[in-house]
Amino acid sequence: MPRLTVLHYPDTNLRKKAALINSIDENITALADNMLETMYAEGGIGLAATQVNVQKRIVVMDLSEDKNQPNVLINPEIIASEGLEQTQEGCLSVPDYYGIVERAEKVKCRYLKLDGTVVEQDADGLLAVCMQHEIDHLDGKLFIDYLSPLKRQRLKKKLEKQDKHLQVVL
C-alpha cells in the first residue's frame, strides 16, 4: 500500500473544508488503508483526509498501545458535548510543536463505519480530544488556531526562523 504525503502548516490546502462522503466504495476503502499506513508510519494516533490533501470527510484513528486497533470514521460529527478540559496537543501537520488547547471534556460522536453502519460513540480523555482535533481538520481548522496571541507569535517566529523566506500568517 502506498504511503501518502502529510501536508505541513502553513500549506493552505489544510484550510479547505472536506465534503461529505455519499457512497463508501472501493476508492474510500483504499484511501482508508493508505491513511492508516501513513498514520502508523508517522507515529500519529489519528489522521484526517485533509492532512493528505483529500477533501473528503474520513478520519482514521488508533489509540491502542499496541497499534492494533485501527478505526475508520466516515462523516464523523459531534452530536453532544459537555465540560471543558485543557490538554497538550500536537499535530502531524505542525511538526515539533505542542500547545495547550481547551476543548469539550466529553463528546458523543456519530459516524459511519466502512461497512456503512451508523455508530454513536461516547468519548472522553484522549479519544475525545482526538475526535475534536480530527473533525476540526475536516473543517480546515488546526489546533494552533486556538493558541493565545503570545503563543501564536512565538510559533510564527520559530517557523520563520526555520525558513527565512517564509512569511507565516497566523
Q: Which residues are catalytic?
A: 134
Taking the CB of residue 64, how many other CB atoms lie within 10 A of it?
11
Alpha helices in 19-143 (DSSP H): 26-42, 125-138
Stretch that binds ligand GNR, among 7-15, 19-27, 29-37, 88-96 (CB under 6 A): 88-96
* 92 lies in the site for ligand GNR, by CB under 6 A: yes
Judged by beta carbon distances under 5 to 8 A according to partner kind, the member of Ni ion, ligand GNR, none in contact with residue 140 is none
Instruction: State yes or no: residue 89 binds ligand GNR (CB under 6 A).
Output: yes
Task: Indicate which of ligand GNR, Ni ion, none lies near residue 99 (CB less than 5 to 8 Å, by partner kind).
Answer: none
Is there binding between residue 112 and Ni ion (CB under 5 A)?
Answer: no
Asked if 91 touches Ni ion (CB under 5 A), the answer is yes
Figure out which of the listed residues 44, 58, 71, 112 binds ligand GNR, where binding follows CB under 6 A.
Answer: 44
Rule CB under 6 A: is residue 62 a binding residue for ligand GNR? no
Distances (CA, A) of 144 to 58, 71, 113, 170: 21, 25, 29, 9
User: In the structure grid, which three cell numbers stand for residue 34, read together?
Assistant: 493508505
Min separation Cβ 3 and Ni ion, Å: 17
- Which grid coordinates are listed for 64? 491502542
Burial of residue 88 (number of CB atoms within 10 Å: 0-12, 13-18, 19+): exposed
List the x/- string, 104-143, binding to ligand GNR by CB under 6 A: -------------------------xx--xx--x------
* All cell numbers assigned to 114: 466502512
Binding partner selected for residue 109 from Ni ion, ligand GNR, none, CB under the kind-specific 5 to 8 Å limit: none
37 burial via Cβ count (<10 Å: 0-12, 13-18, 19+): middle
Residue 142, all three cell numbers = 488546526
Contacts with ligand GNR, residue ranges (CB under 6 A): 44-48, 51, 89-93, 129-130, 133-134, 137
